[in-house]
Amino acid sequence: MSQKVAVIGLGSMGYGIAQSALRAGHETFGSDVKPARCDAFVADGGSSGDLTAVAGDLDAVIVVVLNARQTEDVLFGDDGVVPMLKPGAVVVSCATVPPEVARNLAARAAAHQVHYLDAPISGGAGKAASGQLTIMAAGSSEAFSAAAPVLEAIAETVFELGDVGAGSAMKAVNQLLAGVHIATMAEALTFGMTQGVPPEKFVEVISKCAGTSWMLENRAPHIVSGDYTPHSAVNIWLKDLGIVLDIAKGDNFSAPLTAAALQQFVAAAGQGLGGEDDAAVAKVYARNAGLTLPGDAAE
C-alpha cells in the first residue's frame, strides 16, 4: 500500500531511508537543514519544500535526526510536525534516545491522536540505502499497523519489542557493544602495528578469525584506506555511549568497558577528530604510540 511519507533528516542514514521509501512506491518528501541534501533528493525523484504545506496529508513521518533534543524540536518545536498531522498518522522515531524520552514523546503525540513508534535503527548507510535495515521497534499494535507499509520498504528485519521505550533500551544495548567494538578494533589494529602487523594484513587475517566483529570488518578498512569520510562520526559515540552510561548510572549498574571506550572517543574529539569517521579513534592510539597510519604523513 502506497503511503505519503516524510523523512526528516537526510544524513547518511536518513537519505538512504528516503531513497528506499521512494523506490518502494511511496510518495516521499525529504526535509533537512542542509538545502543541498533536499536538492539531491529532488534530483533523485523525491519531493521537498515547505513541510507545513504537506504535513496534513502525511501518513507517516520518519525522523532520522541526531539526538533527543533535535527529535523533540522536529516533533513539537515552533514548527513541530506532530500538531499538523492528521489523526491516525504515525511518527517513526529513529534517533538513539533514552527510553524515558521515547515514552514522553509518545505520550505527547498521543495527545494529538498521532501514533508513535520507538524505532531505533541499525545497519549502516549501505543497508539504509538498500532497504535492509534492522529496526528495534516498540509501540502499540496500532502504531505498528500504521507504519507497516513504510517499515516493509526500509527494513529487512523489524523486531517488535513491546511498549514504547523497549526499542530505545535495546538500541542502548546495541550501542554499548558497537562502540566498544570500534574502540577495541582500533586498539587491536594499532597494537598489531607495534608488532609489525600491517593494517591491511590485520584485516585480512583477523576478519577470518574468532576475534572479528561486524564493526571490525566494516570500520577497519577505513583505516587501511586512510579514508575517514564520516559514515558515522566520532561525535556520535560521545552521545550514544553517554546515554548508555546515564542509563547504567540510574540503575546502579557498573559498565567499565563502556566508560573506557567512551574516553577514547572523547580523546579523539579533543584532538579535533569529532567530525571524522568513528574509525578515526585509531588515531588516538597511533599518536600515543608514535605510529603512522595509512594516509597520514610521517611525523
From the number of C-beta atoms within 10 Å of its C-beta (0-12, 13-18, 19+), residue 209 rates as exposed
Active site residue 171: yes
Helix (H) or strand (E) holding 137: strand 133-137
What is the distance between the alpha carbons of residues 140 and 75, in angstroms, rounded to a whole number?
A: 19
Burial (Cβ within 10 Å: 0-12, 13-18, ≥19) of residue 67: middle
Continuous segment of H or E residues that includes residue 4:
strand 4-8
Give dist(CA 217, CA 151) in Å, integer. Answer: 27
Q: Which of 127, 171, 201, 283 is catalytic?
A: 171
Q: Which residues contact 272 (CB under 8 A, 6 or more apart)?
A: none
Catalytic residues: 171
